[in-house]
Chains A and B, each alone.
Chain A
Amino acid sequence: MNFGVIVFPGSNCDHDCGHVLGDVLGQKVIEVWHKETSLTGLDAVILPGGFSYGDYLRTGAIARFSPVMGAVKQFADAGGLVLGICNGFQILLEAGLLPGAMLRNRSLSFVCQDIHVRVENAATPFTGRCEPGQVLKLPIAHADGNYYTDEVTRSQLQANAQIVFRYCTPAGKVTPEANPNGSLDNIAGIRNAAGNVLGMMPHPERSAEEVLGNDDGRLIFLSMLDELKKAKLQLKMVGAG
């Protein structure tokens, strides 16, 4: 499958994403510079972590206007899989491809540590390999992960199963103590209403190889692969492949 990894000025997790998808999972990885306006030929798009535009003004605020984002929006509107990790999630929020906004971490610190998330929705293209309620250990590294939205949107997210990951204890309990940044309702990752766009603050690309001590994150990429292979197979069966 062809995975596009968007590179903004200041992105710094693009190589890790490329390494996991290319070297670990054997997929074709195309680095897409933020000035590109075409995503033709890509099966999925990743917006990686980092500090696009130095987080100037607001994190993701300037990157969302990069030329490539028009194509990302079209790709998403057409149902293509889009995964935003950390700064990628922030850019998707600023671009309006996901609802809500990020605030500074409640502690005001840049938090860099392993946390646990509970899979709240295992029926998404990004969590198909997970069990409902499964606990994943993933690293976070961010200063602006305090997810916020108004109560109306929050209850819609809840009702539509759009909350995909919540911060939890290692045992899977969603508690205030397990919340590393003050995010509303311990939200660590959400999907859009159509279900093809996911944003998550933790870094699955930093936890996708056993040799690094943690490969829970690989499940997210494997789930995406499953989904893409299933879609290609369906196209073949319909005679369009």
Chain B
Amino acid sequence: MKAKIHVTLKKGILDPQGKAIEHALETLGFKSVSNVRMGKYLELDVNEQDRGKAEAQVKAMCDKLLANTIIEEYRYELS
């Protein structure tokens, strides 16, 4: 199965990269933009047919390595 994972900073955690991107967009004339937050996107294949098992593995990967759950949260899609 293919997993598509988004890892983002938790709300309330300062995101200076997001801010820098926001300012750059404003400089380019996109004045209506706000709340830019930057995150990470990962794709991986899980060699597992059972959806429940695949999901459990992806969740464990996120909890253990792919996200630092002190400062980040994650969501994923399996297909």
Chain A positions within 8 Å of B, measured between CB atoms, are: 57-58, 61-62, 65, 94, 100-101, 103-108, 146, 148-150, 182
| A61/B68 in contact, CB under 8 A | yes
| B65/A57 in contact, CB under 8 A | yes
Chain A's nearest CB lies how many Å from the CB of B73? 13
Counting CB contacts under 8 A, is B16 at the interface? Answer: yes
| A101/B14 in contact, CB under 8 A | no
Docked complex Cα distance between A106 and B13 (Å): 11
| B66/A57 in contact, CB under 8 A | yes
| A103/B65 in contact, CB under 8 A | no
List, in ascending order, chain B residues with CB within 8 A of A108's CB.
Answer: 16-17, 20
List, in ascending order, chain A residues with CB within 8 A of B13's CB.
Answer: 103, 148
Docked complex Cα distance between A183 and B68 (Å): 17
Chain A's nearest CB lies how many Å from the CB of B9? 8
| B65/A100 in contact, CB under 8 A | no
| A148/B68 in contact, CB under 8 A | no
Please provide the 3 A-B residue pairs with the shortest distance between their CB atoms, ordered closest to farther: A101-B70, A101-B71, A108-B16
- Whose C-beta in chain B lies nearest to the C-beta of A146? B14
| B14/A61 in contact, CB under 8 A | no
Residues of B within 8 A of A (CB-CB), count: 11
Docked complex Cα distance between A150 and B17 (Å): 21
| B66/A107 in contact, CB under 8 A | no
Write out, one digit per residue, whether chain B residues 49-79 have a CB within 8 A of any chain A CB (1) or not (0).
0000000000000000110101100000000
Q: Which of B14, B40, B66, B68 contacts A94 (CB 8 A)?
A: B68
List B residues 16-64 near A (Cβ within 8 Å). 16-17, 20, 40
A61-B65, A65-B65 are contacts. A104–B70 as well, Cβ < 8 Å? no
- Whose C-beta in chain B lies nearest to the C-beta of A96? B70
List, in ascending order, chain B residues with CB within 8 A of A65's CB.
Answer: 65
List, in ascending order, chain B residues with CB within 8 A of A106's CB.
Answer: 14, 16
Docked complex Cα distance between A211 and B39 (Å): 45
| A101/B68 in contact, CB under 8 A | yes
| A104/B17 in contact, CB under 8 A | yes
List, in ascending order, chain B residues with CB within 8 A of A57's CB.
Answer: 40, 65-66
| B14/A182 in contact, CB under 8 A | yes
List, in ascending order, chain A residues with CB within 8 A of B65's CB.
Answer: 57, 61-62, 65
List, in ascending order, chain B residues with CB within 8 A of A100's CB.
Answer: 70
| A148/B16 in contact, CB under 8 A | no
Docked complex Cα distance between A106 and B20 (Å): 10
